[in-house]
Structure 1
Amino acid sequence: MATILQRLKEMPIPKNVPSLSHKMMALYGLPHLTHSMVLLPLVLFIPSYYADDLALPLVSVGMAIAMSRLLDVFTDPIMGILSDRWNTRWGRRKPWLVLGTPLLILSTWMVFVPSGKVSVVYLFIWTSLLFLSFDIFDLPYKAWGAELSSEYKERSRVAAWREAFGATGHIIFLLILMAMGFWGYHGNREQLLVIALIICICLPIFVVLAVAKVPENPPERLHGASILGWPGMKLVFQNQAFVRTLIALVLFGCGLVIQATLHKMVLKHVVGRPELFSPMILAETFTSLLALPLWIWLSDRLGKHRTLTLAGAWVALWGLALPLVGYGDIVLYVTLIVFRGSSLAAIIFLSNSIAADVIDHDTLASGHQRTGFYFSLWGMAIKMAIGLGVFLGTSLPALSGFEPSAAVHSSATEFALMRIYGWLPCFIMLLAFPLLWNYPITQKKQLELRAEIEARRK
């Protein structure tokens, strides 16, 4: 981790632009060390845990998680608008982090460490509350980060520091899970308990440090009339860059989540080595973190949009070979997953950096800064992708005849599972490439937007 952070520090920032210190970017990213752990188990652990260990029907588990996303249609925009408009002496964003932390801790515990008789209704209610509390925390947190810098390349570094801490958090808890496996604790129940304890203990500490030490910039308001209400909403969907980004996020996210949902099932029922799950995800996450400076370097030279396109293509390329994996093909399978995963962190930080540039376009058009609202719409898209990915990753194998609780699986159902696992995500992600390659906001365009904003600022 120290080597990766040093490389991030050494990445050049353009001259004549006020820059954030590395300490500030690191403190801002620190809560993501544990905050990032919340959603990952929902695709890696929860479907397998509730279907395999708690004996709930696999299709019902997928439906419950997917249906819990429906509330976001209402809560995400409301949360974004409140975050934009709720001005306090502590800022617009920080109070929501303080409020969201205890709610996130409670709902995480109830989903990860259920007690008593557990039903599909229980899963639906608590995953709904988990996603709601995650919104209260996550939307203002991402908006805060997008507003820390107005410079095209430095925004990538802010997002990269945050994702570096997120990847490091994944590595830490996977190392703990591997240690548990060494002592004979391989079950989903014990693993989820450890993850929940890490989140509940560490998240409040990191949030306090970030809120106390990192500044929050005042909102940008421009001379001239502000466009609000329905005309302001129409501006959102007239923003070509926003629409392209939104669709690409859903396509990329859905493809990635389908594979993440099926990792454990493939290891257990196809490869026959379920105990390799934690070491494999650890290797994938570490490779993604190690490759982060390379993707930053590429984005500085090719632009964020084309680098993001290449990062998605990299995932799809290695996914094409996954159906070749069969029983005992440990080296082949782990190699494919590790190489595939080397661009995952890049997809996340580049998407967030591009999102900040899109908001510049809207600030100029609407006359005021709506970062929270825009991130609420992107949050809806991401969670829609999670819900759709989990639903497709659970229902399509079931429809093809694959059921995890079956004692024996035929070669036909296993091959059907592997085609859904490898080829379907590749096809879905390929659909996003035309949207991103000739993206309308380049570095030159973003500099022009910032110059116009600065000329009109009150």
Structure 2
Amino acid sequence: MPKQPFPKNVPALTHKLMALYGLPHLIHSMVILPLVLFIPSYYADDLGLPLASVGMAIAISRLLDVFTDPIMGILSDRWHTRWGRRKPWLVLGTPSLILSTWMVFVPSGKVSVVYLFIWTSLLFLSFDIFDLPYKAWGAELSTDYKERSRVAAWREAFGASGHIIFLLILMVMGFWGYHGNREQLLVIALIICICLPLFVVLAVAKVPERPPEQLHGQSHLGWTGMKLVFRNNAFIRTLIALVLFGTGLMIQATLHKMVLKHVVGRPELFSSMILAETIVSLLALPLWVWFSDRIGKHRALAFAGLWIGLWGLALPLVGYGDIELYVTLIVFRGSSIAAIIFLSNSIAADVIDHDTVASGHQRTGFYFSLWGMAIKMAIGLGVFLGTSLPAHFGFDPSVASHSPVTEFALMRIYGWLPFFIMLLAFPLLWNYPITREKQQELRAQIDARRK
């Protein structure tokens, strides 16, 4: 079935437009990565707050999104302006995202757990105002099964490139003797505050937004429309899979720096290790796109999650000084991280086609808000488990040395627990109900009923 063209007033989707759409993610992606990799360690190690309390504050601030995400998704779907439904929210969300990022990354004066909770809550809210319409905009740029993967891959390629630039800057800072969390977070915050507005303006000015799809026939909104959401088998499967994948990934991300410092004994190599992992993940993107074209996006996503979990099984073998083994495991493990992100977003667009046929309305923002809630809950759960479980087994990052029993417990939580959590997603994705053929059938129904 040929790709459906844009309406007459919207230019065809090209690689240039995909690149311009993905450009803000070069900076936008820098917001959450430090929040996972640096903030728990910074507020616990440098600022002296209890590790478990730091994890709890971040986790609870994430749970507030249960209320704000659906509201943001509905507003994004229903707020029609001359500039579109999605673009105005990016413009509105950028200033508050910049402010809250600065307050979390560059705290001043007396800092408490309450301070961290308030500003991380505002940061997550601002991120929602920006991120949900941005992802919905990308999902609506194409109606083609394979091309949707490429739109998401372009965005995630920019996100990975942003991580690489960020890590290279940290390495240069380390070369000049700036190894502390405080200096590193200051530089990250400056980059975000200066560059994000420029890239948002460029994307909003150059990339089109497709008009919303409304279908002839019976339509369902309100409570009737909500019931359709939870009858959508494909949506329920992706929701659960995202929670499982996100939790496993965040457990390991939260503990990376602590493991390097307290188990391997080489904390100065943190930036280099994450840089190598990110580069490999970026280089592997074309392979995962090719793989998904051959076996389907859902099965490629299942393999991507299983790939990460399998490499994590060997992490408890790592001990003091085993830097080569440790970095090798992390780099190979991370080669599918970007694939998980772009494949999930591409599959999400197909799920929305199913809902458009059932409800008569294109509710992309609402669906992405529900997936966003799941991802944030997974991040909060992953940070909570990654901080509270090691603490339960006696691990304290403020202590210089730990017993072998405590270190082994830490490494089992770090390596084995994510594998078993992510393994649960495999059967949900393997026989997924929306294949390429099914998505083409859905698009044919949408085109036949489009007003």
TM-score by length of 1: 0.96
Q: Indicate the residue corresponding to 1:206 in structure 2.
A: 199
Q: Which amino acid aligns with 1:392?
A: L
Q: Indicate the residue corresponding to 2:435 in structure 1.
A: 442
Task: Tell me the CA shift for residue 225 of structure 1.
Answer: 2.3
What whole-Å deviation, never above 9, does each CA across 1:396-430 have from its counterpart, x for those lacking one? 00000000001221111011000000000000000
Q: Indicate the residue corresponding to 1:305 in structure 2.
A: 298
Q: Indicate the residue corresponding to 1:374 in structure 2.
A: 367
SS of the aligned residue for 1:343 comes to helix
Q: Which amino acid aligns with 1:284?
A: E
Q: Indicate the residue corresponding to 2:181 in structure 1.
A: 188
The whole-number CA distance in structure 2 between the counterparts of 1:321 and 1:446 is: 39
The whole-number CA distance in structure 1 between the counterparts of 2:343 and 2:166 is: 24
What whole-Å deviation, never above 9, does each CA across 1:39-79 have from its counterpart, x for those lacking one? 11111000000000000000000000000012111100000
Q: Which amino acid aligns with 1:351?
A: S
Q: Which amino acid aligns with 1:439?
A: Y
Q: Which amino acid aligns with 2:245?
A: F
Q: Indicate the residue corresponding to 1:223 in structure 2.
A: 216
Residues 201-350 of structure 1: pairs in structure 2 closer than 5 A: 201-350=194-343
Residues 122-201 of structure 1: pairs in structure 2 closer than 5 A: 122-201=115-194
Q: Which amino acid aligns with 2:19?
A: A
What whole-Å deviation, never above 9, does each CA across 1:283-331 have from its counterpart, x for those lacking one? 0000000000000000000000000001011101100000000000000
The whole-number CA distance in structure 2 between the counterparts of 1:151 and 1:444 is: 11
What whole-Å deviation, never above 9, does each CA across 1:322-363 have from its counterpart, x for those lacking one? 000000000000000000000000000000000000000000
The whole-number CA distance in structure 2 between the counterparts of 1:93 and 1:223 is: 23
The whole-number CA distance in structure 2 between the counterparts of 1:20 and 1:285 is: 28
Task: Tell me the CA shift for residue 224 of structure 1.
Answer: 1.2
The whole-number CA distance in structure 1 between the counterparts of 2:446 and 2:98 is: 39
Q: Indicate the residue corresponding to 2:16 in structure 1.
A: 23
Q: Which amino acid aligns with 1:213?
A: K
The whole-number CA distance in structure 1 between the counterparts of 2:340 and 2:400 is: 38
The whole-number CA distance in structure 1 between the counterparts of 2:409 and 2:310 is: 19
Q: Indicate the residue corresponding to 1:110 in structure 2.
A: 103
What whole-Å deviation, never above 9, does each CA across 1:200-219 have from its counterpart, x for those lacking one? 11100000000000000000
Which of 360, 377, 388 is residue 395 of structure 1 equivalent to? Answer: 388
Q: Which amino acid aligns with 1:379?
A: G
What whole-Å deviation, never above 9, does each CA across 1:372-402 have from its counterpart, x for those lacking one? 0000000000000000000000000000000
Root-mean-square deviation (Å): 0.8
Larger deviation, residues 257-266 vs 66-75: 66-75
SS of the aligned residue for 1:88 comes to coil
The whole-number CA distance in structure 2 between the counterparts of 1:85 and 1:436 is: 31
What whole-Å deviation, never above 9, does each CA across 1:176-233 have from its counterpart, x for those lacking one? 0000000111111111111111111110000000000000000000001210111100
Q: Which amino acid aligns with 1:430?
A: L
**Contact persistence 2:3–2:144 (CA under 8 A):** no
What whole-Å deviation, never above 9, does each CA across 1:143-200 have from its counterpart, x for those lacking one? 0000000000000000000000000000001000000000111111111111111111
The whole-number CA distance in structure 1 between the counterparts of 2:28 and 2:312 is: 28
Q: Indicate the residue corresponding to 1:428 in structure 2.
A: 421
Which of 82, 88, 104 is residue 89 of structure 1 equivalent to? Answer: 82
- Give 5+ residue unaligned stretches, structure 1: 1-13
TM-score by length of 2: 0.98
The whole-number CA distance in structure 1 between the counterparts of 2:19 and 2:155 is: 7
- Give 5+ residue unaligned stretches, structure 2: 6-11
The whole-number CA distance in structure 2 between the counterparts of 1:27 and 1:16 is: 21
Residues 16-95 of structure 1: pairs in structure 2 closer than 5 A: 18=5, 20-95=13-88
SS of the aligned residue for 1:69 comes to helix
The whole-number CA distance in structure 2 between the counterparts of 1:115 and 1:16 is: 53
SS of the aligned residue for 2:396 comes to coil
